[in-house]
Amino acid sequence: MNKKQELEINNWELFFVDRGISEHLIAQYMPYVRNLIQANLPVIFEIEHLSKLMGVELNELQKMIANSSRFYREFSIPKKRGGRRLVSAPYPSLLMCQTWIYENILKTIPVHFCCHAYREKRSIISNATPHLGQTAILKMDMEEFFPSIPINWVIRLFSNLGYSHNVSYYLASICCLYGVLPQGASTSPALSNILLRHLDNRLYKLSKKYSLNYTRYADDLTFSGDYIPHKVIDIISDVITNTGLSLNKQKTSLIIGDKQKIVTGISVQGDRLTLPRSSRRQIKQEIHYIRQYGLVSHISKHKIKNPYYLQSLEGKLRFWLQIEPDNKFASESLLFISASQKN
């Protein structure tokens, strides 16, 4: 315990004495206070205290906890591979409370090093790198990722951090919708990473047993090595099922030999990361048409309706350069597209 923590603990004890709280009750409160401060977590006593910490009216907070669905706007977006994904976007008041939970509690909690999504200095690039040049790659996808994580897991997490049952329930209710993590809440990404630490650790140990590499990017699981036995797929599936989650078996793929290997949208074939061939081909074709026929003619001919088409193409080129910083075509094309937007 450092001096700052000791001072904070002493201040709490003095606060209780000044409020005229009995020594008996202070003796009951202080272990709770001490445990949270030593864990670098904010001390929270009941819902009134939480409302003051969050800067939200008590009545408003009670409504959020009792029925969070009134504080979301729901809509659907298309998935890359067909179908629709439901997104629940919190209203500003609820978003403010979720942001407070993330900044003051969740942000300080470590996650497994094999996890690459929703983390500073980690990305799809760091997720793909361990699988570079491997002979065999196994890709698996967890089904209905956020909604498969129930509120009781979240309550247990806050309780294990040291919070009382009531406070744990309040915090979890602010983070959940219809009893699960919603797609769209600002706390869902961090909570999913924290709650899957034990699964990540089990899968990491399993991968080491078979001399494999393992990474997870949100719901995407990737294993790679010289050889992946087919029985490993069943073992991994059992581990995930026993955790209470499930796999989308239609997305499970084992790629071996010289077949193109793509991990989180990045080709890991050979000795360096590259943009997949299909993406390179499409971008080159678009740049060629714009140079050859002009932007207006290209947009008209291909019936492009995106009003931000050039910005989108610029984003693709910047992503390409993130993966291949020395790619001359991507660099020159980015300068060309940037100049085109200024004209």
Which pLDDT score is estimated for 76? 86
pLDDT of residue 224: 98
Residue stretches of the chain with pLDDT short of 70: 81, 342-343
pLDDT of residue 296: 85
Indicate the burial class of 66 (C-beta count within 10 angstroms; 0-12, 13-18, 19 or more). exposed
Backbone angles phi, psi at 263, to 5 degrees: -120, 120
Which of 295, 332, 325, 329 lies closest to 310 in space, CA to CA? 295
Write down the residue that tokens 């050859």 correspond to. 292
Among the listed residues 207, 221, 155, 182, the one whose alpha carbon sits nearest the alpha carbon of residue 74: 182
* pTM (two decimals): 0.91
The confidence score (pLDDT) of residue 172 equals: 99
pLDDT at 158: 99
**What's the pLDDT score for residue 167?**
98
What's the alpha-carbon Rg for the chain, to the nearest Å?
A: 25
Q: Which CATH superfamily is domain 45-266 in?
A: Reverse transcriptase/Diguanylate cyclase domain (3.30.70.270)
Sequence-separated (6 or more) residues with CB below 8 Å from residue 287: 313, 333, 336, 337
Q: What is the pLDDT of residue 77?
A: 84
DSSP 67: -
pLDDT value, residue 343: 62
Phi and psi angles of residue 72, each rounded to the nearest 5 degrees, phi first:
-130, 150
